[in-house]
Amino acid sequence: MSVDLSGLLERLRAVPAYQSLRGDLGSRTRGRGCLRLPRSARAPVAAALACDLRRPVALLVPRPDRMLVLAEELPAWAPGLQVLPFPDPGPLFYERAPWGPRALRQRVVTLAALTEADQPGATPGVPTTRVILAPARSLMTRTLSRRDFLANARTLRPATSIRLDHLLDLLVGTGYGPASLVTEPGQFSRRGGLLDLWPPAEALPVRLELFGDEIESLRSFDPATQRSTADRLDVRLTPAREGLPRLRRPEWDEWLPASVGEPQAEGERLGEYFLPWSNPRSAGLLDFLPKDAIVLFDDRLGVEDAISELEEQSVALRAEMLARKELDAEAPLPYVTLTEMREVLEDRLHIDMGMLAGEDELGWDLAESFSPGPRFGGQLRAVLELFDAERHEHAQTVVVSRQAQRLAELWSEAGHGQAVLEQLPAEMAPGDLHFMQGALAEGWRLETAEREHVNLLTDAEIFGWARPQPRPRAVRRAASPEAFYSDLAPGDWVVHVDYGIGRFAGLVERTLDDLRREFLLIEFADGDQLFVPVHQADRVTRYVGVEGATPTASRLGTQEWERTKSRAHEAVAEVARDLLELYARRMTVVGHAFPPDSTWQHELEASFPYIETEDQLAALRAVKADMERLRPMDRLICGDVGYGKTEVALRAAFKAVMDGRQVAILVPTTVLAQQHFNTFRQRLAAFPVAVDMLSRFRSRAEADGILKRLGRGEVDILIGTHRLLQKDVRFKDLGLVVIDEEQRFGVTDKENLKQLRTEVDVLTLTATPIPRTLYLALTGARDISNINTPPEERLPINTHVGPYDARLVRQAVLREMDRGGQVFFVHNRVQTIESMHARL
């Protein structure tokens, strides 16, 4: 997050209650207290304490999603603050599965930062202000001891002597893997007198140049180009993982699954599974915190409840494994219990920032200075009225939003110019209003002095929801043309342009003119075979037909394939005549030109809770340009499920309604109609737009009432299935038709759709266009917009395939529940779905 809110921390520091809190904590190293802060105030208070007290702060949260939010927000409050997440490793306790590589690296980075001051040979310096973030499961996970971590770390400097064989043994024993080229953290590579390695805590890998046993130079290098970038004075070589191979014992292999082929290799892969054996008394992360660290609970009750729930699950799983003799009865617990955690915290200063009631040793009244901000639910006129009222009351207001530019434009249209800032000014005058581009989970109102206050507004208050953070996405690469042929498998149906439909039987070699040549073998009806030279493979294409239908193989030596092609030519010509007539009428018919975007259009688009992709914006620009022309629009929007086609249609529909025209949304199924109805009604709730639905979910009386209001013009947007195409559905002034998945409508429905296209603007949405629709778009007969970019918050899908295993299902469900997520369980039989529900 590039937004800089450090100026607001200065306002917090001026609050007497905060000054009292800072003074009390400055001289304490143990004790227990409670702040009772609203959730939105906890990040700035934690950042201020870490910076002002110059002491490490461990902020403990119940769930990983809360950790991710705080990891994004804390740097915005204090740009110089070092934020170190300590993530959940992934597997359940007792689950024999490797830890995720990203989580493993980040955990090592955090442990390395917490031990750098104790490393022999470390250079003394100014204490680093840092906040360590840990969810409940991560807090419970046992790890290696602080002593073992330090004993297996080294500081390397130029002009010092090392034994290369000892250094290589250390790398292997501390979890580094050999590689030909170092491209990822945790790898090393030796080439003569050069040793490349990448400690997990380093941003770039390091190259050691050796002369005998002496380090001549240390240089960072770019892993992409392998070229050196800068000289280094030193590098700290820390373990690459928590389960160190050099601490592993052979007798632990007996507790690996019986199916394991090579215990040695599997034991190294599951190195972290054996951490409780190597350090059974570990208190996890708490062992690594310095003595003067302050432990803050984001919500102590929530953290303790999460730990208790995880303990219950782990006790049940341990009992199952003992019964199946998969675990030694003397095996240590792989987690820190709630009782152990409380005992460790007795010797530390720990403060609950949440709303937990109860008697505490320490207490402050800082919570009285914070109050929740007002909620507007997307009603931007009320937001602008608040800005004006707060300006007259000389209150300071800061707006942090993904839509800051749009909000600033709306404020300018009201007669007040204001630019969007990246950093707040050092001094804020009374009545100041500042817009900042960014995202926070929630805002607040802070009373700084008597009758003085500061407002922090976010998307949560303005629009009614928090906006997601952008995530890095993978770059799509186009497949090579040869990929089509490499994907053909024996048995696939193919079409030869001259001979017809046959079955691909593989690649074969034959001798022709004393030369061995390769051919594609295609089998036709009656056992006939055709050998196609590889250099003529362009005459063969994969057969594309109705899904699930098996084509009929052509007969060689007959006119059957020629007759088939002739019939296809005639059908194409007939379709071409119809289309030529249709689109000729469209070019001569004068349609309705919609006006440019209104103020309400800007407000609706500013309330969109996600980040538009470039493809979405391009499609929106094209649709609006079409609607503002006199020629009727006929545009096809292609995009995968969840890529934002509905939002394009919604904005187009709103544009039509703002000009007094009605909109029909035509969908193929009742369930999809209900989905669209809910989406449109929610997004347009702040505007006087009447949205209704016509489907089998409506009774006859309700449907009759909707049709009467539709004819009187009292329904602006009507969503429905093919019922909208019946003759009794009469619009007063129809201006736009949106068709979702046109290819799923019947022939009769499509004939009715043809007539619509000559009269009104038509927008078609599809994820899988039929060949004819796609062909018309590609040849220019219909306009097309492609949305190929997934939304920024969409994560890649990880797929695991295997036989049904009740224990595996249980572990997967529990892991997702611990994460605070959702689980969809798809069952393949209606008859037994109730029994599966009971089993789950």
d(CA 666, CA 741): 9
Q: Kindly state the helix (H) or strand (E) to which residue 221 belongs, with its residue range.
A: strand 214-221
pLDDT tens for each residue of 312-357: 888 988 888 888 888 888 888 999 999 999 999 999 999 999 876 5
DSSP 161: B
Q: Which residues contact 186 (CB under 8 A, 6 or more apart)?
A: 105, 175, 176, 177, 198, 200, 240, 241
Question: Domain boundary at 363, 387, 404, which?
Answer: 363
- Six token digits for residue 461: 């208050």
Length of the chain: 840
Residue 780's alpha-carbon distances to 78, 209, 774, 777, in angstroms, are 54, 61, 10, 5
Give domain status of residue 663, yes or no: yes
Show the CA angle centred on residue 403, arms to residues 398 and 407, nearest 5°: 65
Same domain, 133 and 159: no
- In terms of domains, do 358 and 378 share one? no
pLDDT at 355: 75
Are the CB atoms for 277 and 252 separated by under 8 Å? yes
809 in any annotated domain: no
Q: What is the pLDDT of residues 470-498, one digit of tens each?
A: 443 333 333 333 444 556 788 888 999 99
The reported pLDDT for the residue numbered 418 is 77
Does one domain contain both 12 and 83? yes
Cβ neighbours for 769, distance < 8 A, ≥ 6 positions apart: 636, 638, 743, 777
CATH of the domain at 346: 3.40.50.11180
Same domain, 394 and 453: yes
Are both 92 and 74 inside the same structural domain?
yes
3-class DSSP assignment, residue 799:
coil
Strand-pair category, 493-496 with 452-458: unpaired
Domain tally, the chain: 5
One domain for residues 696 and 724: yes
Q: Residue 318 belongs to what domain range?
A: 6-118+128-148+245-363
The answer to whether 107 touches 242, Cβ cutoff 8 Å, is yes
What pLDDT is attached to residue 261?
A: 44
What is the model's pLDDT at position 189? 93
Residues 553-572 have a mean pLDDT of: 88
At residue 781, the pLDDT reads 58
Q: Of 314, 338, 363, at which residue does a domain stop?
A: 363
- 255 and 233 within one domain: no
Domain presence at residue 798:
no
Q: Give yes or no: residues 684 and 778 share one domain.
A: yes
Domain assignment present for residue 440? The answer is: yes
Look up the CATH number of the domain holding residue 439: 3.40.50
From 766, 787, 808, give the residue that closes a domain. 787
Q: What is the CATH number of the domain that holds 175?
A: 3.30.2060.10
Q: Is 788 in contact with 797 (CB distance < 8 Å)?
A: no
Residues 328 and 192 in one domain: no
Is it the case that residue 27 has pLDDT exceeding 60?
yes
User: Has residue 1 been placed in a domain?
Assistant: no
Model pTM? 0.67
Q: How large a percentage of the chain has pLDDT more than 90?
A: 37
Domain assignment present for residue 812? The answer is: no
Q: What is the pLDDT of residues 591-618, one digit of tens each?
A: 788 999 888 888 788 778 777 888 999 9
Together in a domain, 599 and 634: yes
In this structure, is residue 492 part of a structural domain?
A: no
Q: What is the mean pLDDT of the chain?
A: 84
Tens-digit pLDDT profile for residues 348-399: 999 999 876 555 667 788 888 999 888 887 788 888 889 989 888 888 899 9
**Within-domain flag for 494:** no
Same domain? For 252 and 223 the reply is no
Residues 355 and 426 in one domain: no
Query: Could you read off the pLDDT of 248-284 as tens digits, one per residue?
Result: 777 666 665 544 444 455 556 777 888 888 888 888 9
What CATH code is carried by the domain that includes residue 584?
3.40.50.300
